[in-house]
Amino acid sequence: MSNKIDRKNSLFLGWGGVWTQTQTQLVYDLIKRDMVSIIGKRENAKGSGFIHGVLEKDEEIRFPLDWANGHTLIAGASGSGKTRLFDLILKQLILRNECCIFLDPKGDSDIRKIAKDTCAMMGEPDRYLMWHPAHPRDSIRLNPLKNFYRSSELAARIVALIPEDGDSFYRDIANTVLQYMIDAMHMINEQVTLVKVRYYYEHFGELVEKSILSWFDACKVDWRTVIFQRLHSSKDEETKAMICADFYKSKVAIKNPNPVIDSLLSMYIDKRRILEQSTANLMANLSKVTNGALAEMLSPSDPNDTRPSYDMATVLSTNKIFVIGTDSQSDRLVSSAIGKMILADATAVSAARYNYGDGDCPMINIFVDEASEMLCTPLIQLVNKSRGSNFRLWIATQTISDLVAELGSEAKADQIIASTNNFISFRCADEPTQDRVVAKTPQTRVRYVMRTQGFNSSNEELDGLGANIGERLMEEDADLFAKELMGQLPDLEYVASFSGGKLVKGRIPIISEPKHMEGSNG
């Protein structure tokens, strides 16, 4: 298949070939026999090596980039080869000078090494960026709240910190309060960061005071003559907020009302108890991403910090290779929330490219490993709608069932599954995953020989004994690739259903560093 595809506009995905009825028939004939007597006993082998051996040729597999633009879903059991496939694809895309964002909950060190070494090999070491909570000194600083269209988007990103298994009422209230606060921060021209949001949650009265005074200045209200001295002499945050609130309500709101201030005051004065109840859970989780090293890593503000500060729009516009590890083993909830905020940031950039781009934007590759931990509305939006903004997604999960379990329904999981045009599966015993492999390929027919034999006798005739033996060539329907073989694939071997409609059986190499020649000084 390799000689029919343009090598310059395709990716190398190992070796193998197209799986046809011929291979289906061979496997059908083989599994009816004693395989040990045919290929010998293999003590330490994982999987059935004969599966790949039935291919007529073992040639290069080339994956056209036009097909990849339709997004790719990768499945397989832990250790079966998903990450090594990512190694192979990522290195080629870096060499093609394409921008890549790799989101990895585990923080695989091999991925970071391949990305870093490849950029250095190209003479562009500064192109590589890394963010990982366990390696703060080597990480960049990133503001995942920088890009947005509406304040509600930022509120939703922060609310992702609250576990979804709790009371939805308090999540909704927290989302509403966050939106009021973010609107107020924009009104006083303050950059929205996680640290700032936490600060104003703890000092809500200060935000009320600043917002009202800013509105007075915008409306050219002479507040300094009336309340400045009282504000200056008061040291209590709540007293200052109430002085401003009383002056706003009695002197300003009649002619110059402000919906943001009205909402803040309603929550601060009339619904104080709800405010306190709704923020308890959020504050507990918000503190996890605003304390210690994470504070500056996710809320860049220190001008003396020598680490560069980025947001997703800057990363993409400067064609970086950005590897993000969210350290899910330490705290799965916080890891998931950080990943979702970053995906939401990328979705906002995708929307901007689609709405305001010139139609010829460079291709952006988004890799999401262990996707079940990162499932969220922004990821679904990226899969469904980002192709028009030249975003190409590579999504990996252990099983299709993981997506269903995390999203709570097959319908939601199908929003991701049905929008990926390419599916690659390594060894997997999950039946929905196996069904996905054969879903886009028609059934075939396998032949087998039916043997019959009979015996008859008659007491009325001396030669009344008889026997017969017969053979008939039969056919029956069968999956092009038998689903039970999916659980027998050796490590690094896969079955793929691509946009082109063909079923491909492949095996991938392990990328390693080139060995120095013997006797060389290099």
pLDDT of residue 262: 95
Residue 453, domain member (yes or no) = no
pLDDT of residue 96: 95
> What is the 8-class DSSP label of residue 7?
G
Residue 135, domain member (yes or no) = no
d(CA 299, CA 277): 25
pLDDT of residue 460: 67
Residue 1, domain member (yes or no) = no
| DSSP characters over 8-77 | GGEEEEEEEEE--HHHHHHHHHHTTS-HHHHH---SS--S-THHHHTSS--EEEEEEHHHHTT-EEEE--
Cβ contacts of 225 within 8 Å, gap of 6 or more: none
pLDDT of residue 384: 85
| Same domain for 427 and 314 | yes
Choose the final residue of a domain: 247, 269, 298: 298
186: tokens are: 């924009």
Buried b (16+ CB within 10 A) or exposed e, 492-515: bbbbbbbbeeebbbbbbeeeeeee
| Same domain for 163 and 118 | no
Number of structural domains the chain divides into:
2
d(CA 294, CA 208): 27
317: tokens are: 């516009």
Choose the final residue of a domain: 267, 298, 329: 298
CATH number of the domain where residue 384 is located = 3.40.50.300
Choose the final residue of a domain: 242, 264, 298: 298
| Same domain for 367 and 500 | yes
Residue 404, domain member (yes or no) = yes
| Same domain for 410 and 363 | yes
pLDDT per residue of the chain (522 residues) written in tens, 0 to 9: 555 677 889 999 999 999 888 888 888 788 777 666 666 666 556 778 888 988 988 999 999 999 999 899 999 998 899 999 999 999 999 999 999 999 998 878 889 999 999 999 999 999 999 999 989 999 999 999 988 878 888 998 888 887 766 567 778 888 888 999 999 999 999 999 999 999 999 999 999 999 999 999 999 999 999 999 999 999 899 999 999 999 999 999 999 999 999 999 998 888 887 777 777 778 888 888 898 899 999 999 999 999 999 999 999 999 999 999 988 877 787 888 888 889 989 988 888 888 776 556 789 999 999 888 888 778 888 888 887 888 999 999 998 888 888 777 777 788 788 888 899 999 988 888 888 777 767 777 666 565 667 666 666 665 666 666 766 666 677 778 888 888 889 999 999 988 767 889 999 998 776 554 444 444
pLDDT of residue 440: 67
Q: Which H or E element spans position 278?
A: helix 272-286
This prediction has a pTM of 0.85
| Same domain for 290 and 424 | no
pLDDT of residue 84: 92
Q: Tens digits of per-residue pLDDT, 110-128?
A: 899 999 999 999 999 999 9
| Same domain for 324 and 207 | no
User: Is the Cβ–Cβ distance between 325 and 104 less than 8 Å?
Assistant: yes
Residue 390, domain member (yes or no) = yes
pLDDT of residue 49: 82
| Same domain for 58 and 32 | yes
Residue 355, domain member (yes or no) = yes
Phi, psi of 60, rounded to the nearest 5 degrees: -60, 140
pLDDT of residue 45: 64
| Same domain for 222 and 87 | no
| Same domain for 293 and 326 | no
Residue 284, domain member (yes or no) = yes
| Same domain for 236 and 118 | no
125: tokens are: 């070491």
| Same domain for 429 and 492 | yes
pLDDT of residue 522: 40
Residue 455, domain member (yes or no) = no
d(CA 457, CA 470): 18
| Same domain for 349 and 264 | no
Cβ contacts of 158 within 8 Å, gap of 6 or more: 145, 178, 194, 197, 282, 286, 341
Structural domain span for residue 101: 10-129+310-444+482-507
